[in-house]
Chain A
Amino acid sequence: MALLARTDSVVRPRINRKPSPVLARSLPWLTIMFGSLVPGLLLIASAPVLPPLGFLAFVAWRQLRPGLLPVWAGLPLGIFDDLFSGQPFGTAVLLWSIAAIVLDVIEARLPWRNFLTEWLVAIGLIIAYIALCLGISNIAGASAPLRIIGPQLVISVFSYPLVGRFVALADRFRLTPFVRIR
């Protein structure tokens, strides 16, 4: 918890060290891909109960560091998510790309932000994402009723700040200077 509670100013800049450029660039992608894998591995679920962690991490990274992931990041990351999510292939590619653009539009309209506004924006995106996922899989042959995503919606909305915390932690780790400058 101490690591989580620390503020940015406490990170002591060390002379003669810099962050690893490979890590600084790849960590956001890796954490999102990890988020896509985790819900499948946690349990053999007989109902949709786990939050779509890949999508949550994607939104959290875009809110924490706008512009760090390119706008087209939804294409490769969505393909990876589709391989494991069980949705019809292409669902995440489509919805993540749209979500990235929508986030950018909202950000341009609403430049000042705080925890609550970011959470509210994310809640809107999460609810739309889960409902559209259900709709798309129903078009593709399933016939699941709307009520089965209720628990998942609640869990996803409330786990978003936690995912945001984790992403902030990963961001701190990403920018930790440990490579010696020659």
Chain B
Amino acid sequence: MAPPANRRSGFSRRAQYTTFFSYAAGVLGAVVGLILLVIAIVSPDAFSGLRGAASDVTEPLAQASAESRTTGKDFFASVSGFFKTGSERARLERELAEAKVRLVEADAARDENRRLKQLLDLREDDAQPIAFARLVASTGASSRRFATLGAGADRGVVKGMPVRSPMGLVGRVLEVGSSSSRVLLITDTESLVPVRRARDGIAAFAQGQGDGTIRIRLVNLGLNPLRKGDVMVTTGSGGLYRPGTPMAVVTELLRDGAIGRVLSNPSDTDFVIVERAWAPPPPPPPADPLPGTR
């Protein structure tokens, strides 16, 4: 292709000045960008109001696209389900029979739990959800993992509330707008959640890796007791995340921990639940010194 029209300004003073000032403005844009960046790095909350307003404005559009996304997924699920009906049905019946037995056992366990807690005089805290909402948008082109939730201050969402789906933990609320809020997903590299193995309570930290997997770091180093398929649940230590929320399943073992897969893949979840931030029970009062030691 021929070169574009000659943009040399020639002897015209006016054209020369125009070119000069437009380049000066371009450099100024870069400088402004650098200044904004420094402000954003020094105080990450500086632009949260602006971002909240922007996501509030685009929230209806995002809601519409989230709905069509769900419809499209449902369509493909029904087409693929049509071809697997027979074997699926047999498997489901078998699982249902097993699940019924498990359900009865779980009922019994829950009842026993309640009685034991009454004996110990433990207060039952409410797990009432604050809001049900869709994850309407996410940062698909960035290495950070944020999502936009279609509920904000108008539905009682407050900064720091954990967000979960029926399958497991999704993330926590980072910034709240008036009708939308920004969620830090657990797969982000800045998200660190204290977890334990569901079976026996081996303590660990789960940190996102930014690529959809979770790095599980054991608190107690040494022999790695984890096995593939172990389910990690939140401990609730430090507050914020309610204890016992399922989070990840171990898929690959490392020397000092494991790589896990997130149980509730945010792209598959339709509605998510915003819960009240969990506050750990206050520590017990210091025990009386043993008689005879004073």
Contact = CB atoms under 8 A, between A and B. Distances in A.
Contacts of B35: 90
Contacts of A48: 140-143, 210-211
A140 B32 contact: no
B233 interface: no
A104 B2 CA distance: 16
B142 A86 contact: yes
A95 interface: yes
B243 interface: no
Interface string B126-145: 00000000011111111111
Query: Contact residue range for chain B?
Result: 35 or more
A164 interface: no
B44 A141 contact: yes
A52 B140 CA distance: 8
B51 interface: yes
B41 A97 contact: no
A152 interface: yes
Contacts of A89: 36-37, 39-40, 46-47, 50-51
B109 interface: no
Contacts of B138: 40, 43-45
Q: Which of the listed residues A43, A92, A98, A113 has the most CB atoms from chain B within 10 Å of its own CB?
A: A43
Contacts of B55: 83-84
Given A72-B28, A140-B44, A142-B190, A43 B267 contact: yes
Q: Which of the listed residues A94, A96, A112 has the most CB atoms from chain B within 10 Å of its own CB?
A: A94
Nearest to A135: B143
Interface string B248-282: 00000000000000100111010000000000000
Interface SS of B by simple majority = mixed
Contacts of B234: none
B189 A142 contact: yes
Nearest to B73: A43
Interface stretch (B58-66, B115-123, B152-160, B223-231): B58-66
B144 A53 contact: no
A138 B210 CA distance: 11
B187 interface: yes
B212 A47 contact: yes
Contacts of B23: 71, 101, 104
A143 B189 CA distance: 6
Contact of B30 (A101, A142, A144): A101
B108 interface: no
Interface of B: 1-4, 7, 22-23, 25-30, 32-41, 44, 46-47, 50-51, 54-55, 58, 61-62, 65-66, 69, 135-148, 185, 187-190, 209-212, 262, 265-267, 269
Interface of A: 37, 39-53, 66-67, 70-72, 74-75, 78, 82-98, 100-101, 104, 107, 111-114, 133-134, 136-145, 147-149, 152
7 contacts: A46-B211, A48-B211, A89-B47, A97-B29, A111-B3, A142-B210, A148-B210
Given A86-B145, A97-B30, A141-B44, 14 more contacts: A41-B136, A45-B138, A47-B210, A71-B23, A72-B22, A72-B29, A74-B30, A87-B142, A93-B32, A93-B33, A101-B23, A137-B144, A144-B143, A148-B210
- 4 closest residue pairs by CB, A with B: A86-B139, A90-B36, A94-B33, A93-B33
